[in-house]
Amino acid sequence: MNGAAPSRLPEGAKAQRVYLSLRDQITGGALASGDSLPGEQRLAESFGVSRVTVRRALDALAGTGLIDRRAGSGTVVRDRGGAEMPVAMNLATLMPQLVEMGHSTTARLLAFSYGTAPEFVARSMELEADADIQIAIRVRSADDTPFSHLTTYVPANIARNYSEDDLANHPLFTLLERSGVEIAHAHQSVTATLAGPEVAEALNVAVGTALLSLKRVVRDVDGKGVEYLSALYRPDMFRLEMPLTRVGTGAGRHWEPAIGKDGEASE
Amino acid sequence: MNGAAPSRLPEGAKAQRVYLSLRDQITGGALASGDSLPGEQRLAESFGVSRVTVRRALDALAGTGLIDRRAGSGTVVRDRGGAEMPVAMNLATLMPQLVEMGHSTTARLLAFSYGTAPEFVARSMELEADADIQIAIRVRSADDTPFSHLTTYVPANIARNYSEDDLANHPLFTLLERSGVEIAHAHQSVTATLAGPEVAEALNVAVGTALLSLKRVVRDVDGKGVEYLSALYRPDMFRLEMPLTRVGTGAGRHWEPAIGKDGEASE
DNA sequence: ACAAGTTGTATTATTTATAATACCAGATGC
DNA sequence: GCATCTGGTATTATAAATAATACAACTTGT
């Protein structure tokens, strides 16, 4: 569909490409902790850029703590023991797992309105094209750091059963089941996308940051769509986890998710 | 791991970010065929850039045929009949689902070597730090369009049981089980990341494109790691899908993946 | 001590990307 | 017609990224 960037586009910041390449090599394991990097001059030559440009990339790597630089000695990959992701979610059960204790997540309501369903929502939920729905946009934070941007579409007749205030304080799941909806099954789809201006601001990241994108359609026992969720997650704050077990024998051998039994689902 | 781009880095080509963001909105369905885009002036304001910059991005979008622009009337998303996502994978069963018939996926081996395990691989697989492993990098394509970039780490003693040629022609799973490995369970983690130069070239996308990142550790019945997979997927070519059912009653009510029973797992 | 590497710093020039502005031409609704 | 959207074009100015160069300060090994 696209291929290389069309010719009219600027090449893109060279320093950023050097930065991304080195960062990938470090986080991807090609450069392990303690490894020495080639000298700045050599890096400049191998990337085909000037030393100043390499320097900017290294500055950025040092700023994020990935490398240590010592004048006269050289640049080495720093040993980063911890620095892991605070929030994870079990993709099978939709159960969030807060890896450290003391994490509390809070939701903030950014937008709340009623209107007609966008075409792609109506199609996914199998509603009439002009169906009335409620649209809510929320941002969820852990320890005052936002990690997810949630846009939910709920048919108006269901949404009338809870208030704007409920939405800011309870998972949508709770509200739906409290409203008498009998949730039966869901289908979710995971991809990646770039942060646009509004989302970037809400999640406190730069425009152009990679985000995890999850779309979920929830249906009731009659197969009617009761919720369409479009969620965007910061990859440095959030991960989807999924344990699997291989079961069966012979030709019937296949994978099955190892599921947790407890808890309450949330977005 | 990174979050907002470190402050010292150049912002990067703004035109390219506008281009990538709009492209994602179009291919991701947020902007459907026939939808009108906001005016160039409005786009410039919302992205925080000048109109010329927006213009360069729109030029690129028009160049790839994603939009139609008519002076006086406006810019609309072009109706591109097909060109949808050809490949999906069931996240629970690891079973790929080729949505259209006639799709054949082929693998190309980019790199193949033996060496000592990177620290993070050794830690994840619980190997000794200096364990010998095989590292292979493959690109998988559907209809000559690459959609996934796979880096696999396999302990050398297991990897010796199959050849470089096997690797290019068979899913790694098949080769492992053929080698007598008793695969028991796996753990996978899904995030998003940006395409670096090497991966971008291999996947035929622009540097800075959002990619889906999946890491999977496969263990045998003794709990020893037998495979570490780091996979990067083009979001416009590949999606992770997962159906869920809500089961149980009362307090024991929870989600469970609806799993397929057949087929062979692959990457 | 010395040479040869390294990073740190500074200066200058050049190129490129972006911004700000104005105006034209086509389309649309009143 | 007319006001007012829209994209198309051009000009100029400013800001930013990059390159080329030189040199200082520090480290290490001989």
Q: Do residues A60 and A131 both lie within one domain?
A: no
Has residue A223 got a pLDDT over 80? yes
Residue A204 lies in a domain: yes
Residue in the block written with tokens 């160049």: B63
Q: Distance between CA atoms of A140 and A146, rounded to whole angstroms? A: 6
What mean pLDDT is predicted for residues A35-45?
92
pLDDT at B5: 34
* Tokens (6 digits) for B228: 């570490």
| A2 in a structural domain | no
Taking residues A176-191, what's their average pLDDT? 91
User: Is residue A132 in a domain?
Assistant: yes
- For B8, the closest chain A residue by CA position comes to A60
- Which chain D positions have some atom within 7 A of a protein CB? 5-11, 16-22, 24-28
Q: Could you report the per-residue pLDDT of A42-92, keeping only the tens digit for each? A: 999 988 999 999 999 999 999 888 999 999 999 999 987 655 666 888 888
Is the C-beta of residue B39 closer than 7 Å to nucleic acid chain D?
yes
| pLDDT band, residue A6 (cuts 50/70/90) | very low
Residue with more model confidence, A130 or A199: A199
Inform me whether the C-beta atom of residue B124 falls under 8 Å from chain A C-beta atoms. Answer: no
First to last CA, chain B: 24
Instruction: Please give the share of chain A, as a percent, with pLDDT higher than 90.
Output: 44
Distance A51 CA to D27 C1' (A): 21
Determine the structural domain holding residue B46 and report its residue range: 14-77
Please choose, from the candidates A56, A164, A12, A8, the residue with its C-alpha nearest in 3D space to the C-alpha of residue B197.
A12
Contacts of B190 in chain A (CB under 8 A): 91, 190, 212, 239-242
The rounded Cα A101 to chain-centroid distance in angstroms is: 21
Instruction: Please state, for a pLDDT cut of 70, what percent of chain A lies above it.
Output: 88
- B65 and B171 part of one domain: no
Q: B77, B100, B118 — which closes off a domain?
A: B77
A122's tokens = 């109506």
Measure in Å the smallest separation between the Cα of A209 and chain B Cα atoms: 7
| Residue with token string 């023991």 | A81
Find out whether A14 and A60 touch, Cβ atoms under 8 Å.
no
> Which residues fall within 8 angstroms of residue A52, CB to CB, at 6 or more apart?
none
Lowest mean pLDDT: which of A17-21, A248-252, B113-117, B220-224? A248-252
pLDDT of amino acid A157 = 92
Amino acid at A164: E
Residue owning tokens 């796979």? B150
Write out A58-114 in H/E/C secondary structure. Answer: HHHHHHCCCEEEECCCEEEECCCCCCCCCEEEECCCCEEEECCCCCCEEEEEEEEEE
Q: What is the CATH number of the domain that holds A249?
A: 3.40.1410.10
Domain-embedded: residue B1: no
What's the pLDDT score for residue B205? 86
Q: Give the type of residue at A250.
A: G
Mutation for testing the B interface, residue in A18, A31, A91 having most B CBs under 10 Å:
A91
| Distance between CA atoms of residues A170 and A162, nearest Å | 10
Residue of higher predicted confidence among A141 and A266: A141
Give how many domains chain B has, as a whole number.
2
Residue A69's CATH number? 1.10.10.10
- B interface mutation test: which of A254, A259, A261, A267 has the most B CBs within 10 A? A254
List the single residue in B2, B240, B265 with the smallest CB-CB distance to A190. B240
- Looking at the structure, do residues A151 and A63 belong to the same domain, yes or no? no
Q: Do B5 and B46 contact (CB within 8 A), yes or no? A: no
Chain A residues touching residue B243 (CB < 8 angstroms): 185-188
- Count the Cβ atoms, other than its own, within 10 Å of residue A220: 18
Region A147-164 average pLDDT: 94
- Among A77, A108, A130, residue at a domain's last position: A77
Planar angle of CA A150, A156, A160, nearest 5 degrees: 95
B199 and B113 in one domain? yes
Which amino acid is present at A104?
A: S
Q: Are residues B28 and B142 in the same domain?
A: no
For residues A112 and A203, membership in a common domain is answered with yes
For residues A44 and A151, state if they share a domain.
no
How high is the pLDDT of residue A262? 47
- Cα separation of A121 and A227, whole Å? 10
Which residues have C-beta within 8 Å of that of residue B251, sequence separation ≥ 6? none
Q: Identify the closest residue of chain B to A187 by CA–CA distance.
A: B243
State residue B2's pLDDT score. Answer: 36
**B258 contact A CB<8A:** yes
User: Pairing relation of β-strands A132-142 and A145-155?
Assistant: antiparallel
User: Does position A4 have pLDDT exceeding 50, yes or no?
Assistant: no
Q: How many other C-beta atoms lie within 10 A of the C-beta of residue A99?
A: 12
Q: Is residue A3 part of a domain?
A: no
pLDDT at A265 over 60: no
Using N-to-C axis directions, what is the helix angle for B40-47 and B51-63, rounded to 10°?
A: 110
* Strand C reaches within 7 A of the A104 CB: no
Q: Quick one: average pLDDT of A124-142? A: 90
Same domain, B45 and B117: no
pLDDT of residue A263: 45
B185 with A93: Cβ contact below 8 A = no
Residue that terminates a domain, selected from B26, B42, B77:
B77
User: Does residue B5 belong to any structural domain of this protein?
Assistant: no
Question: What pLDDT, in 10s, does the model give residues A106-119?
Answer: 999 999 999 888 87
Q: Which residues of chain B have pLDDT under 70?
A: 1-12, 81-86, 99-102, 259-266
Chain B CB contacts of A57 under 8 Å are 9
Asked if the Cβ–Cβ distance from A1 to B252 is below 8 Å, we say no
Using the CB atom, is residue A72 less than 7 Å from strand D? yes
**Gap between the Cα atoms of B129 and B122, Å rounded:** 6
For residues A166-179, average pLDDT: 89
- Examine residue A264 and state whether it is found in any structural domain, yes or no: no
Task: Tell which B residues from 188 to 227 touch A, by Cβ distance under 8 Å.
Answer: 188-194, 196-199, 204-213
Asked whether residue A71 falls in the same domain as residue A103, the answer is no
Backbone angles phi, psi at B164, to 5 degrees: -60, -35
Longest C-alpha distance within chain A, in Å? 71
Residues 147-176 of B with CB under 8 A from A: 151
Q: Which segments within B30-168 are labelled E, that is strand?
A: 67-70, 74-77, 87-90, 95-98, 105-116, 132-142, 145-155
Residue carrying structure tokens 């039994």: A261
Quick check: B7 CB within 7 A of strand D? no
Strand partners of residue B139? B108, B149
Q: CA of B205 to nearest chain A CA: how many angstroms apart? A: 5
Looking at the fold, whether A70 and A132 belong to one and the same domain comes out as no
What is the pLDDT, as a whole number, of residue A202? 93
Q: Is B41 exposed, middle or buried (0-12, 13-18, 19+ CB in 10 A)?
A: exposed
pLDDT the model gives residue A102? 63
Distance, in Å, from the CA atom of B254 to the CA atom of B250, rounded to the nearest integer, reads: 9
Residues A108 and A236 in one domain: yes
The reply to whether B69 Cβ lies less than 7 angstroms from strand D is: yes
B25 with B95, same domain: the answer is no
Q: How far is the CA of B60 from the C1' of C17 (A)?
A: 16
A253 lies in a domain? yes
